Amino acid sequence: MTDLLKSLKIVTDKIIEFLENINDEQSLRKKPADDWNILECMEHVFITEKGIYKLLNRPELFGEAPSTKHDKLEEYNTGKFKAPDYTLPAGRFSSVNDLIDAFKILRKQMEEYILNELPKAGNETYPHPILGPITKTQWIEFAIEHSQRHLIQMVKCEFEF
């Protein structure tokens, strides 16, 4: 198993465990300073990853520009960013269980991609809105980092009441 696949599975397990231990009422709570409740935050993660998965399966969109992720990673890790409009929650999940089911399916697709398609990938890149051009591997790394970042946000939301 690759390190990337291990990382994806670890974060997936943590997210699922967290979600399985809250109920629908808890998923709708949010601190006054937060923009989203837990369900909305997780919907944003789902929408983002679904977009990444679709992107990864469109090799014709990737070009030859060198990756700039590492130059901008510190900026990403230390900042708070406005999510692109196409990744904003829109209420597509009516319960935590619906979200868990959809998330498990999407993460399984990502695992299959890592195992079957990623080994064939080169160093082609596609621009991320903050990190600039990044490779397919880096897109998956971003998905993992992004979901982990939001898991921390959701855990804080749940336990700071």
pTM above 0.85, yes or no: yes
Rounded to 5°, the CA angle 92-126-142 comes to 55
- Asked if 47 and 87 touch (Cβ cutoff 8 Å), the reply is yes
Backbone angle region of 132, left / alpha / beta, with phi > 0 → left and psi within -120 to 50 → alpha = left
Q: In whole angstroms, how far apart are CA 67 and each of 51, 62, 70?
A: 19, 11, 8
Q: In whole angstroms, how far apart are CA 57 and each of 65, 130, 136?
A: 18, 21, 10
- List the chain pLDDT tens, one digit each, 161 residues: 689 999 999 999 999 999 999 999 999 887 666 678 999 999 999 999 999 999 999 999 999 888 887 766 666 666 677 788 889 999 999 999 999 999 999 999 999 999 999 999 999 999 998 888 999 999 999 999 999 999 988 887 766 54
3 state SS of 147? helix
Which fold would CATH assign to domain 3-159? Answer: Four Helix Bundle (Hemerythrin (Met), subunit A) (1.20.120)
| Residues 6 or more apart whose Cβ sits within 8 Å of residue 11 | 144, 147, 148, 151
